[in-house]
Copies of this chain bind each other. A is one copy, B any other.
Amino acid sequence: MSTELLDHAPVPLKWVGPVRVTGNVMEGEQLVPLATYEQPLWPSVGRGAKMSMLVPDGIKATLIDERMSRSVLFEADDAGVALKALHEIQAHMHLLQEVVATSSRFARLIDLHAQIAGNLLFLRFELTTGDASGHNMVTLASERLMDFILRRWPELRYESISGNFCSDKKATAVNGILGRGKNVVTELVLPRRTVERWLRSTPEKIAQLNVRKNLIGTMLAGGLRTGNAHYANMLLGFFLATGQDAANIVEGSQGITHAEVRDGDLYFSCTLPNLIVGSVGNGKGLDFIEANLARLGCKEDREPGANARRLAVLCAATVLCGELSLMAAQTNQGELMASHLKLERAAN
C-alpha cells in the first residue's frame, strides 16, 4: 500500500445565527458553524435563526434520550441453543455491566436487545458514553463482552464484532425505534405575522406543504422513518464544523418534520432521533475543532455528557432553522431557484 501527499480539504465554513434555544438541556443564544461546499445553506439557516430570535422563547429543544449501540453476531448450532444462551446472558446483565465498566471510565451498559434468525444470534449492546459519540467506546466494550460471552457460553461461536443490527451509517429502522445517538425534538411557534412578513408564506401553506411533500411525498418515494425536506444538509455542515463522524448523517437525517396551524400561528417541529455527536473523542484532536467546540460552549467543565448534549441540541436547532426556511421558500413558486441563483452570482 502506498500513500502520499498528506493534506487537507478546506471545506468553507461560516458561523450563522445566533439561534435562540430553550429546553431541558440549555437556554441561550448561540452562533452555529456550518462547513459546506453549498453556499445557499448559510443564508437559509440564517433566516431560520433570525426567526428564533423574533420569538421570546426561541426554539424549544428537548433531549428525549441518549445511547450508543453496537451489535455483535454469534453463530449457534440452532435457534434453540441460541435462545437458551440468550436467556442466560440476559440473566447475567450485571456481569456484562461489570465487563463494560472495565473497558472505559465513561461506558455504561444500559440495555440489551437481541434478534435470533435461524441459528444466528445478534446482541445489540446499548451504552451511554459520556461526552463521546462513542463509536470506539462501544466497539471496545463489545469486544470485551464477546470475549466474556464466548468463554462462558462455548456453544456460541464468534461470527462478527458487528452484525449490522447496530446499525451504523445505514438507512435502517432500528435506530429510531431502539435509539442510537441523541434523540432531540426541536419546536418553534411562530406568529402568523412573522411567517407572513419574514418568510413570505402563511402557517396554512407551510403546514399543508409539510403533509403533502415531507409526509406523503416521502412515503411515495418509499421513505423509511424519514419525512423532511433536507436535514442532511444542515447535519453535514454542522458535523464537519465540529469534528463529528459525518458519515452518521445517513441515519441522522432520518427524522420527521411536523407542522400545524395552532390558533392561527405556525407550530413547526423537527424530530431527530439519531443524532450521533460528541464533544470529545475521534476527530476532536484538531485545533480548529477544539476552537469551534469551545466557541459553542461545549468544552466547559460539566458533568460527563453535558457538553455533548448541548452540542446535540444546538445541532438540532440548526436543523430546524434550515428546514423552516426551505419549506417556506418552497411554498412560493420560483423562490427557491431565484435565491440560489442570486447567491451563486454574489459568490462569483
Contacts and interface: CB of A to CB of B under 8 A. Distances in A.
Interface of A: 1-18, 23-24, 31, 35, 37-38, 42-43, 46-47, 49-50, 60, 62, 64, 71, 73, 75, 78-80, 83, 113, 115-120, 122, 136, 139-140, 143, 146, 150, 158-174, 176-178, 183, 185, 187, 208-209, 211-230, 232-233, 235-236, 240-241, 243-247, 249-251, 253-254, 256, 258, 260, 267, 269, 271, 282-283, 285-286, 288-289, 330-331, 333-334, 336-337, 340, 344, 348
A176 B116 CA distance: 11
A6 B14 CA distance: 5
Given A7-B14, A164-B213, A220 B117 contact: yes
Contacts of A119: 187, 258, 267, 269
Kindly list the 3 A-B residue pairs having the minimum CB-CB distance in the complex, ordered from nearest.
A173-B222, A37-B283, A164-B217
A221 B169 contact: no
B333 A158 contact: yes
A37 B71 contact: no
A267 B79 CA distance: 12
- Number of this chain's copies in the assembly equals 4
A93 to B, nearest CB: 16
A240 B9 contact: yes
Contacts of A251: 171
Given A2-B17, A9-B13, A38-B283, A165 B221 contact: yes
For A9, A164, A177, A330, the residue with the greatest tally of chain B CB atoms inside 10 Å of its CB is A9
Nearest to A268: B118
